[in-house]
Amino acid sequence: MENFKPAYLELQEKGTLQEKVKESLTRLEACDICPHECGVNRREGEKGFCRTGKDMIVASYSPHFGEERPLVGSRGSGTIFFSYCNLRCVYCQNYDISSGLYGKKATEDDVADMMLELQEMGCHNINFVTPTHVVPQILQSLEIAAREGLRLPLVYNCGGYESLKTLKLL
């Protein structure tokens, strides 16, 4: 891993990451981040199917050992669990989180700090759990964290109901 360079660092060097942040934040104004394409103005705090406005709600972040072995390694996957979801699965294994029963509002700076803290703890990666509905905010956080020294690979741990247009931003 010594020679590993995450693709987001190359995007940052080229200025492409900043363009992706700008494009994704604009898309929140008539939200089409997931296939529901609610069209609400999340930048103004309106909420669509995912029940999320402009702010990220983070249920928890920590080294996590409940993932697949290659992700966990010996020091854990640096998992950031986002509250709410663009799905409403009847048998959701993370219902308390996806329904928004747990979590605190987190700014882009807060999430960037979480990523850097998980890196300092020795986690092998940053694992975004239920990230779909907050991709623009995550990209903004990533831009900040990369500037501050983030060098870990990223895991996009989603439910699978994704917009191709959003995936192309990643």
13 confidence band (pLDDT: 50, 70, 90) = very high
Per-residue pLDDT, 41: 98
**42 falls within a domain:** yes
Per-residue pLDDT, 71: 87
**Per-residue pLDDT tens for 75-92?**
999 999 999 989 988 888
**95 falls within a domain:** yes
Per-residue pLDDT, 2: 67
152 confidence band (pLDDT: 50, 70, 90) = very high
List the domain range (segments joined by +) for residue 75.
7-167
Rounded Cα gap, residues 12 and 49, in angstroms: 31
Residue length of the chain: 170
Rounded Cα gap, residues 137 and 133, in angstroms: 9
**Per-residue pLDDT tens for 21-59?**
999 999 999 999 999 999 999 999 999 999 999 999 999
Per-residue pLDDT, 92: 83
Are residues 151 and 9 in contact, defined by beta-carbon separation less than 8 angstroms?
Answer: yes
Per-residue pLDDT, 12: 94
Percent of the chain with pLDDT over 90: 81
130 pLDDT higher than 80:
yes
What is the average per-residue pLDDT within 6-28?
95
**36 falls within a domain:** yes
pTM, two decimal places:
0.93
Per-residue pLDDT, 74: 92
**68 falls within a domain:** yes
Query: How much is the mean pLDDT over the chain?
Result: 93
**1 falls within a domain:** no
**2 falls within a domain:** no
Are residues 39 and 48 in contact, defined by beta-carbon separation less than 8 angstroms?
Answer: yes
- Taking CA atoms, 145 is separated from 21, 81, 103, 139, in Å, by 13, 17, 21, 10
95 confidence band (pLDDT: 50, 70, 90) = confident
66 pLDDT higher than 90:
no
Number of domains in the chain: 1
1 pLDDT higher than 80:
no
